[in-house]
A and B are shown apart, each in its own frame.
Chain A
Amino acid sequence: MPDQGSTQVNAATANALAAMQETRRQRIRLAIRAAGMLPVLLLLCGGFHYFSDGRFFTAQNLGIVVQQAAVNTVLAAGMTFVILTGGIDLSVGSILAASAMAGLIISKFPDLGALWLPASVLTGAAFGILNGGLIALLRLPPFIVTLGSLTAVRGVARLLGADTTVFNASIPYAFIGNGSLTLVPGVLSIPWLWVIALLVILVSWLVLRRTVLGVHIYAVGGNESAARLAGIKVWAVLIFVYGVSGLLAGLGGAMQAARLYAANGLQLGQSYELDAITAVILGGTSFVGGIGSIWGTLVGALIIAVLSNGLILTGVSDVWQYVIKGLVIIGAVALDRYRLQGSART
Chain B
Amino acid sequence: MNDPILEMRRVSKSFFSIKALRDVDLTVYPGEIHALMGENGAGKSTLMKILSGAYRPDPGGEIRIEGKPVHINGPLGGRAAGISIIYQELSLAPNLSVAQNIYLGREVSRLGMLAREAMEAGVGPILERLGADFAPSTPVGNLSMGQRQLVEIARALHARSKILIMDEPTTALSAGESERLFGLIRQLRAEGLAIIYISHRMDEVYALGDRVTVLRDGTMVGSLDKPEIRADTIVRLMVGRDVSSFYKKEHDPTARHGAPVLAAVDIADDRRVRGCSLTVHSGEVVGLAGLVGAGRTELAHLIIGAAPKTAGHVEIEGRNVEIRNPGEALEAGIAYLTEDRKALGLFLDMSCLDNINLAVLGRDARLGGILDRDKARDRAKKAFAALGIRAADAGVTVGGLSGGNQQKVLLSRLLAISPKILILDEPTRGVDVGAKSEIYSIIDNLAKSGTAVLVISSDLPEIIGICDRVIVMRAGHIAGEIKRTGASPLNQEDIMALATGTEQLDA
Task: For A7, list chain B residues within 8 Å (CB).
Answer: 219
Task: For B18, list chain A residues within 8 Å (CB).
Answer: 14-15, 17-18, 21
- Chain B residue at minimal CB-CB distance from A230: B358
- Chain B residue at minimal CB-CB distance from A214: B371
Task: For B16, list chain A residues within 8 Å (CB).
Answer: 21
A11 CB within 8 Å of chain B: yes
- Inter-subunit contact B329/A231 (CB<8 Å): yes
- Chain A residue at minimal CB-CB distance from B395: A23
A15, A213, A230: which has the most chain B beta carbons within 10 Å?
Answer: A230
- Determine, out of B96-104, B109-117, B188-196, B361-369, the stretch whose residues face the partner at the interface: B361-369
B385 CB within 8 Å of chain A: no
Distance in angstroms between the alpha carbons of A291 and B112 in the assembled complex: 41
Q: How far is the CB of A205 from chain B (nearest CB, A)?
A: 13
- Determine, out of B168-176, B336-344, B486-494, the stretch whose residues face the partner at the interface: B336-344
Distance in angstroms between the alpha carbons of A233 and B359 in the assembled complex: 12
- Determine, out of B80-88, B143-151, B313-321, B346-354, the stretch whose residues face the partner at the interface: B346-354
B430 CB within 8 Å of chain A: no
| Chain B stretch 389-433: residues in CB contact (< 8 A) with chain A | 390-393, 395-397, 400, 413
- Inter-subunit contact B365/A211 (CB<8 Å): yes
A199 CB within 8 Å of chain B: no
B330, B370, B392, B395: which has the most chain A beta carbons within 10 Å?
Answer: B392
Distance in angstroms between the alpha carbons of A226 and B339 in the assembled complex: 12
Q: How far is the CB of B49 from chain A (nearest CB, A)?
A: 14
A163 CB within 8 Å of chain B: no
- Inter-subunit contact A212/B346 (CB<8 Å): no
Map CB proximity to B onto A200-236 as digits: 1 under 8 Å, 0 otherwise.
0000000000111111101100110111111111000
Known: A22-B392, A210-B370, A222-B347. A231 touches B400 (CB 8 A): no
- Inter-subunit contact B361/A215 (CB<8 Å): yes
A271 CB within 8 Å of chain B: no
- Inter-subunit contact B343/A230 (CB<8 Å): no
CB within 8 A of B350: which of A15, A17, A22, A219?
A219
Known: A14-B19, A22-B392, A23-B396. A231 touches B327 (CB 8 A): yes
B298 CB within 8 Å of chain A: no
Number of chain A residues close to chain B: CB under 8 A:
36
Task: For A228, list chain B residues within 8 Å (CB).
Answer: 306, 325-326
- Inter-subunit contact B306/A11 (CB<8 Å): no
CB within 8 A of A290: which of B326, B338, B349, B393?
B349
Task: For A227, list chain B residues within 8 Å (CB).
Answer: 347
- Inter-subunit contact B345/A229 (CB<8 Å): yes
B240 CB within 8 Å of chain A: yes
B20 CB within 8 Å of chain A: yes
Known: A14-B18, A215-B371, A226-B343. A19 touches B326 (CB 8 A): no
- Inter-subunit contact A212/B361 (CB<8 Å): yes
A20 CB within 8 Å of chain B: yes
Distance in angstroms between the alpha carbons of A213 and B362 in the assembled complex: 9
A218, A225, A226: which has the most chain B beta carbons within 10 Å?
Answer: A226
- Inter-subunit contact B349/A212 (CB<8 Å): no
| Chain B stretch 15-60: residues in CB contact (< 8 A) with chain A | 15-20, 22, 41
Task: For A213, list chain B residues within 8 Å (CB).
Answer: 369
Task: For A226, list chain B residues within 8 Å (CB).
Answer: 338, 343-347
A164 CB within 8 Å of chain B: no
- Inter-subunit contact A212/B219 (CB<8 Å): no
- Inter-subunit contact A230/B354 (CB<8 Å): no
B218 CB within 8 Å of chain A: yes
Task: For B20, list chain A residues within 8 Å (CB).
Answer: 18
- Inter-subunit contact B240/A20 (CB<8 Å): no
Distance in angstroms between the alpha carbons of A106 and B396 in the assembled complex: 51
- Inter-subunit contact A8/B354 (CB<8 Å): no
Known: A19-B392, A22-B400. A212 touches B365 (CB 8 A): yes
- Inter-subunit contact B349/A222 (CB<8 Å): yes
A12 CB within 8 Å of chain B: yes
- Chain A residue at minimal CB-CB distance from B396: A23
Task: For A343, list chain B residues within 8 Å (CB).
Answer: none
Distance in angstroms between the alpha carbons of A210 and B391 in the assembled complex: 24
- Inter-subunit contact A23/B392 (CB<8 Å): yes
Distance in angstroms between the alpha carbons of A11 and B12 in the assembled complex: 13
- Inter-subunit contact A211/B370 (CB<8 Å): yes
Distance in angstroms between the alpha carbons of A219 and B350 in the assembled complex: 8
- Chain A residue at minimal CB-CB distance from B393: A23
- Chain B residue at minimal CB-CB distance from A222: B347
- Inter-subunit contact A231/B330 (CB<8 Å): yes
B217 CB within 8 Å of chain A: yes
- Chain A residue at minimal CB-CB distance from B365: A212
CB within 8 A of A291: which of B329, B349, B393?
B349
- Chain A residue at minimal CB-CB distance from B417: A231
- Chain B residue at minimal CB-CB distance from A228: B326
A14, A225, A228: which has the most chain B beta carbons within 10 Å?
Answer: A14
New A-B contacts (16) at CB < 8 Å, excluding given A8-B240, A218-B347: A11-B217, A15-B41, A21-B18, A23-B393, A23-B395, A26-B400, A210-B370, A210-B371, A211-B370, A211-B371, A222-B347, A223-B348, A225-B343, A228-B306, A231-B325, A231-B330
Top 7 closest pairs, chain A to chain B, by CB: A231-B327, A11-B217, A23-B392, A222-B347, A212-B361, A18-B18, A231-B330
User: Can you list 17 residue pairs at the A/B interface with Cβ under 8 Å?
Assistant: A8-B240, A19-B392, A20-B392, A21-B16, A211-B369, A212-B371, A213-B369, A215-B350, A215-B354, A215-B358, A216-B361, A222-B349, A223-B346, A226-B347, A228-B325, A231-B325, A231-B328
